[in-house]
Structure 1
Amino acid sequence: MGIANTHEQLPDAATLIATSELQWPRITVNGVALEGAAIARELQYHPAPSREEAIFLASQALVVRELLRQRIAQLGLQAQCAQGESEEEALTRMLIEQELQLPGADEAICRHYYDNNRERYTSAPLLAVRHILLACAPDDAEARSHARALGERLIAQLAEDGARFAELALAHSGCPSKEQGGALGQISLGQTVPEFERQLLRLPPGLAQQPLESRYGVHLVWVDQRVEGRALPFAVVHEAIRAELDQRVWQVAVAQYLKNLVGQADIRGILLDGADSPLVQ
């Protein structure tokens, strides 16, 4: 994205910081300087492969926030906070509501989307599952590496002789279910931790060919039975579809609004290729 009235060579995301490790970029937004301390505080919300990229992302977010603050002040908005909102969140919401008049998805649009995406609107499958938990802490990389290696060896053994599952569960599992041959019973949506559930609910019947990982460790999984979910009627999912489509329109409109703010502003010290920010993600 271009920026107005810039009289210096501006870096991109890869080369933003030309200063030393102890300095921060000198950025102004319509004459208002971003403080180095503010960039330092913002860094925690923008993990990135390099310090330079993290600083760019943090600076970009602060530029957008400052542009919104200036526009809010220009319009003289006074915060009317909804429950759980901070003053800044309320003012930003009010600004977007005032500046953008967005059409909502009507029933015909929602019905058309439903008809073209029926596979998305089914109840969750129900699985009867056994597992062997090779327990290890989520932040113990060495233990997890050993557990994955052991898991792959045990999967190879189970592929040769699946009747050994209960034996191997009793010998290796860190879950109390080992006393029942590793049986977890019937599992559907919301009955286990999300990172395990996402992998589990996609599995076909039989032995999973790769270990599954969760915060608890490495799991070897056998799906004894899988009952597919049923199609949900339009009346049940109508409001969810409307909310999803409205959110998509909102994201596109807000992204364009932020780009317009950036394009009209005098921003120095950073080159913004777009207006991506936590507001539109």
Structure 2
Amino acid sequence: MTSGCGCGGGNGGSGGCGSATQEPVVEAPVALEPELIASSEQQWPIISVNGVAITPEAMALEVQYHPAQSREEAVYLAARALVIRELLQQRIAALGLAVDIGAGENPEEAATRLLLEREVKVPECDEATCVRFFENNRGRFHSAPLLAVRHILLECAPDDAEARHLAHVQAEVLLLSLTQNPGSFAELALKYSACPSKAQGGSLGQVSKGQTVPELERQLFTLAPGLADKPLESRYGWHVISVDQRIEGQALPYEAVATAIRTQLQQGVWQKALVQYLQTLIGAADIRGIALQGADSPLVQ
């Protein structure tokens, strides 16, 4: 089996078990109460916006972008997105907006951007608001911890249950051996690890957040210095971990995070203003075949 670890441990020990393949981001399911008009599960709902029909062909194409736990929910999400899109296009046509297409935009994207710039007015967050947010959330603004880590990777495919079980058992055996003889880590890493870092005694060097695959990082940064009391699992297999040093993150001054705070707060204000604007369009439109009301429903994905 070729190693897919990608930890970078063979190049001077910088980084740890990262990979060019990012863990897929899974969007949390939204609690919805879909209301659609359809005579059977196999048929598409009959929906119109101010007399303009949302075609089954459009829904069939859109539904692939809305994974959900059931077909009904996926169709609802797709139909909702198409209704909002149609509302925006009708508003653009009613205003007769002259579109200036920017780099990387298509005409529809450019027109939508121009419409929202014109009709969704968002006040700028002032300095006092940003400072108040910082003072009320100081615990959130720290530099990331830094760990000096060694590991032994017992590699196995993520979908091979038997190999996973055997690798876990072997990891427990190695952990017991290291508990009895801590000085043998480098020897065992060279003999058993599937990671290039075995040439450096398993050392990954100093690891900060963002340098390991997410499922390993979540476990790794909870560890205290010393030999971890159990193996850690990742997509690559099972890891026997030793944290040689842990440097805790430091509190950051306001000046270091002011821009990030302003961006975060401004984005929140923008989202609220956008939802209110879309609710206004919905309230003024004749929409048939789908119910879009509900203050808690996210209207834009």
TM-score interval for Structure 1 and Structure 2 normalised by the shorter chain:
0.7 to 0.9
Q: Which amino acid aligns with 2:203?
A: A
Q: Indicate the percent of aligned positions where both proteins have the same amino acid.
A: 55
Q: Tell me the residue number matched to 1:19.
A: 40
Number of the residue aligned with 2:25:
none
Q: State the partner residue of 1:7.
A: none
Pick which of 214-223 and 92-101 moved more. 214-223
TM-score (structure 1 length as normaliser):
0.81
Which residue does 1:44 correspond to in 2? Answer: 64
Query: Is the contact made by 1:136 and 1:143 (CA closer than 8 Å) also made in structure 2?
Result: no
User: Among residues 16, 34, 37, which one is paired with 2:54 in the alignment?
Assistant: 34
Alpha-carbon RMSD across the aligned residues, in angstroms, is 3.0
CA distance in 1, matches of 2:279, 2:179: 59
1:1-281 alignment runs, 5 A limit: 12-13=33-34, 17-21=38-42, 23-137=43-157, 140=159, 142=161, 145-146=164-165, 149-150=168-169, 153-154=172-173, 157=176, 160-161=179-180, 163=182, 165-166=185-186, 168-208=188-228, 211-274=231-294, 276-277=298-299, 279=300, 281=301
- Residue pair 2:175, 2:230 contacting (<8 A) in 1 also: no
Question: Given the two structures, how large is their TM-score scaled by the length of structure 2?
Answer: 0.76
> What is the identity, as a one-letter code, of the residue corresponding to 2:49?
V
The Cα shift of 1:147 comes to: 6.7
SS in 2 for 1:174: coil
What is the deviation of 1:12?
4.2
Deviations 1:113-152, CA, capped at 9 Å, x for gaps: 11121222222221101223233445x2636853774477
Amino acid across the alignment from 2:131: R
Preserved CA contact (<8 Å) 1:12 1:272: no
Q: 1:155, 1:209 within 8 Å by CA — same for their partners in 2?
A: no
Give 5+ residue unaligned stretches, structure 2: 1-31
Q: 1:182 to 1:258 in 2, by over 3 A?
A: same
Give 5+ residue unaligned stretches, structure 1. Answer: 1-10
- 1:52-89, CA deviations, whole angstroms, 9 ceiling, x for partnerless residues? 11111111111111111111111112322333333322
- Check the 8 A contact 1:134/1:217 in 2, yes or no: yes
User: Deviation of residue 214 (structure 1)?
Assistant: 4.4
More displaced 10-residue stretch of structure 1: 121-130 or 86-95:
86-95
Aligned to 1:56, the other structure's residue is in SS state helix
SS at match of 2:244: strand
Output the amino acid matched with 1:276: P
Question: Cα distance 1:177–1:56, how it changes in 2: closer, same or farther (>3 A)?
Answer: same
Question: 1:217 Cα deviation (Å)?
Answer: 3.9
Distance in 1 separating the partners of 2:194 and 2:84: 48
Report the secondary structure of 2:197's partner residue.
Answer: helix
CA distance in 1, matches of 2:60, 2:181: 55
